[in-house]
Amino acid sequence: MSTGSTPVAAANQPTSVRAVAIAAPTGYDMDIYTIAVDGSNPRNVSRSGAYDIWPSWSPDGQNILFVSDRDICPSWRPGDPGTCDGTNTEPPMGGHLYVLNVSSGDVRKLSNQFITREPRWLNANLIAFSSGDPLLGDSQIDLFTVDIRSGSERRLQAESGPSDPLKIAESWSPNGAYVLYQAAGTRTEIVMMTADGVPLGRTSDLTFPRYGMRAAWSPDSSHVAIGGAQSTCPYGAVVLSNAFQILAQGPTPPGLCEPMWSPNGQFIAFAGVTPSAVGSADGRVDVYVTNPNGQGRGNLTANLRGTIQLIGWVGGQSQ
């Protein structure tokens, strides 16, 4: 969480909305602001006195998702009723899940689960998040989805097989029907499961460090591309079906990091890591694009100098 002077920009700003949402410090707390893309009309939309963090627009631009500690500390401003200022209360590591309707200003709490990692929209109505943090003494990390229309919350629970107490580096399909995650037990495995808890497959053949796996689903939720993170990327493009069948496993080098599916589903962009001449994994990073079958890759930044970082796709239409 950032509490400095630099605002934290919201993720997935919808293209139909000409504003951004940011969480910014106000002296004692963190509030959420919307600001027009030309920098005009800044508006504080939370004003709770609590820490309101991780704002994220819904894909349809109607709601802003955020996490807040307002149930724990209603205010950090001196003199406010129930203020945590001047007490022995530590600054929050997270909070509970809320959604703000931008038009009406209404705020609704969506879950009683305590969250220490940023939640994300799967679509305009469905949100995915995790609860549990070993750094806070929790022995379990659970995965959840919640529907903002009905308020229905669902915890991912296997109907058979291992329960996987620590589910990390999760990636949900856009339709909310499937999830891929790392099971961090005595060994780290990659697991795919339906939202109803039906196991689809697991493997320890693809070895990534804990939290070192990144996965991206195709827009139609039929395929998932798997790679590494932070330059620890031992494999080429690995693409699975939503039935956990390997459809492609591209060659290395480069190793595939941070895969990102194009909005139209026709390409996969990734940060490709080429090992250095002395065998170190800390080699040159370039941005590549490949077909959904993991073949026909092209280097888009081979002629550029300096540090390369893949940010994401701009434009395009989802299927």
- Ranges of the chain whose pLDDT falls below 50: 1-15, 277-281, 319
Per-residue confidence (pLDDT) for residue 52, from 0 to 100? 96
At a CB cut-off of 8 Å and minimum separation 6, what does 154 contact?
Answer: 144, 145, 146, 195
Per-residue confidence (pLDDT) for residue 47, from 0 to 100? 85
Per-residue confidence (pLDDT) for residue 210, from 0 to 100? 86
Residue 61: closest CA among 10, 124, 112: 124
Residue 31: closest CA among 55, 13, 11: 55
The domain locations on the chain are 1-119, 122-211, 223-319
Whole-number percent of the chain with pLDDT over 70? 91
Per-residue confidence (pLDDT) for residue 9, from 0 to 100? 39
Residue 308: closest CA among 261, 248, 254, 244: 254
Per-residue confidence (pLDDT) for residue 275, from 0 to 100? 66
Per-residue confidence (pLDDT) for residue 6, from 0 to 100? 31
Asked whether the beta carbons of 309 and 264 are under 8 A apart, the reply is no
Q: In what order do the strands lie in the sheet with 142-147?
A: 120-121, 126-131, 142-147, 153-155
Per-residue confidence (pLDDT) for residue 1, from 0 to 100? 39
Asked whether the beta carbons of 131 and 142 are under 8 A apart, the reply is yes
Query: How many Å apart are CA 94 and CA 115, to the nearest integer?
Result: 5
Structure tokens at 31: 């509030």
Per-residue confidence (pLDDT) for residue 319, from 0 to 100? 43
Query: What is the third-level CATH fold of 1-119?
Result: Neuraminidase (2.120.10)
Q: Which residue has the tokens 């991912």?
A: 156
Model confidence, pTM: 0.86
